[in-house]
Amino acid sequence: MTRFYFDEQSVESIEGETVLDALIRQGHSLNYSCRKGACKTCLVQHIGGDIPSGAQRGLTSELKSDAYLCACQCKPTQDLKLKSILVQNLFIAAHIHEKQYLSDSVVKILVEPSEEMSHSAGQYINLRRFDGLTRSYSITNDPDSKLIELHIRRKYNGQFSDWLFNHASVGESVLIQGPWGDCCYRSEYKNDTLILIGTGTGLGPVYGIIRDALSQGHKGEIYLYHGAKNEADLYHHSKLLKLMLEHRNMTYLACVEQMGSGKSSTRVQTGDPFEVAMSFHQFDSQTLSDSPQRVFLCGEPSFVNKGQELVFLNGTPLDRIHSLSYEYKDLRKVPRDGS
Ligand code: FES
């Protein structure tokens, strides 16, 4: 048993528990989402005792020097003292500027920050609503706009996504924090072959990365594979076909789990998007030396993790694999993998 203090209250943690686990078990309310040190929704501030190793892994140098740590990554030490964050120190005010439904389950939200926020497609922000509930969403537009575009899928039992989808309206005030992450396009990639694979709303960031690359005059080939359950989920299909017609170095293919019974759309086939991509591209070191390529993977963690592993094991170096994994609280009674 280890005793630590949170907002001056004594908390006891049992063997193996993180600060987040102990606080939740004892009825404290603390924001969290991924529990993996990625989203930073569970930040708390250190005010006394030793900072446990690993508790600040992945944080920016500013967050570290201001003594923030991730509650989900922090195994408490005896007499560690922590306090809640002050929202005004970490978030800036913003409002919903525009809302547009892209399909039956996906909505596009444009957020306008009250002060300049430099961002890139493929990074992510934390969005906090009136009651403090906070979630991470990936940025889908390029840095030239002062608005931040997000594609949100309404999730099963998703408190925040349901609010954004059904209730939040234009003009609604929110708070934003970030941006973070580096799954982005850089001008030095100009001549590389880009292979981008996104599942579900993982299309949003890859679409943004492609628009960013094209606006910077990307010279290499660009291949985009979008994985979805069915054709109705291909929410940017016509936009992507148009983009492909406009840019000779861009190729787009949609991969669905099941086709509808009617006539299928152009550039749609059945299959796992990663396996389809593997059938067209080699990810080995020989191919890389002939034509340098970069792989971008965005979407559900199971897909991103599997893709990263396969591409890496095939010989692509880690610095050429860029990924954005949608880690979030899964509130299903039965886990996604059925286990
Ligand atoms: S970083 Fe702790 S919940 Fe995501």
Euclidean distance between CA atoms 38 and 328, whole angstroms: 10
Euclidean distance between CA atoms 304 and 289, whole angstroms: 24
- Interface confidence, given as ipTM, is 0.99
Which residue would you say has higher pLDDT here, 34 or 47? 47
Distance in Å, CA 20 to ligand 1 centroid: 9
Ligand 1 nearest atom to the CA of residue 73, by list position: 2
Is the C-beta atom of 124 inside 6 A of ligand 1?
no
Confidence of residue 332 (pLDDT cuts 50, 70, 90): very low
Distance in Å, CA 215 to ligand 1 centroid: 34
Q: Are 303 and 199 in contact (CB under 8 A)?
A: yes
Q: Which residues pair with 126 in a beta bridge?
A: 136, 177
Is the C-beta atom of 59 inside 6 A of ligand 1?
no
Distance in Å, CA 72 to ligand 1 centroid: 6
> What does pLDDT average to over the chain?
90
List of residues 6+ apart from 120 with CB closer than 8 A: 139, 142, 143, 179, 184, 185, 212
Which residue would you say has higher pLDDT here, 282 or 169? 169
Q: What is the pLDDT of residue 336?
A: 42
Q: Are 208 and 121 in contact (CB under 8 A)?
A: yes
Q: What is the pLDDT of residue 191?
A: 94
List of residues 6+ apart from 208 with CB closer than 8 A: 121, 122, 139, 140, 141, 142, 149
Q: CA 252 → CA 34, 49, 195, 308, 322, distances in Å?
A: 31, 54, 10, 21, 19
Q: Are 174 and 202 in contact (CB under 8 A)?
A: no
Q: What is the pLDDT of residues 45-93, one digit of tens each?
A: 999 999 999 999 989 999 999 999 999 999 999 999 999 999 889 999 9
Q: Indicate the top mutation candidate among 35, 57, 75, 90 to test ligand 1's pocket, ranked by most ligand atoms within 8 A of CB.
A: 35
E strand or H helix at 269, and its extent?
strand 268-270
Q: Which of 147-161, 244-258, 317-331 has the lowest mean pLDDT?
A: 317-331
Which residue would you say has higher pLDDT here, 45 or 264? 45
Ligand 1 nearest atom to the CA of residue 327, by list position: 4
Is the C-beta atom of 299 inside 6 A of ligand 1?
no
Is the C-beta atom of 298 inside 6 A of ligand 1?
no
pTM: 0.87
Q: Which residues pair with 293 in a beta bridge?
A: 193
- Please choose, from the candidates 120, 130, 119, the residue with its C-alpha nearest in 3D space to the C-alpha of residue 93: 130
Check residue 319 and report its DSSP letter. G
- Please, is 10 exposed, middle or buried when counting C-beta atoms within 10 Å of its C-beta (0-12, 13-18, 19+)? exposed
Token output for 275? 């396996």
Distance in Å, CA 180 to ligand 1 centroid: 13
Q: Indicate the top mutation candidate among 17, 21, 30, 32 to test ligand 1's pocket, ranked by most ligand atoms within 8 A of CB.
A: 32
Is the C-beta atom of 34 inside 6 A of ligand 1?
yes
Q: What is the pLDDT of residues 189-223, one digit of tens each?
A: 999 999 999 999 999 999 999 999 999 999 999 99
Is the C-beta atom of 69 inside 6 A of ligand 1?
no
Query: Hey, what amino acid is at 316?
Result: T
Residue nearest to atom 1 of ligand 1 (CA): 37
* Strand order through the sheet with 9-13: 9-13, 2-6, 81-83, 43-48, 68-70
Is the C-beta atom of 37 inside 6 A of ligand 1?
yes
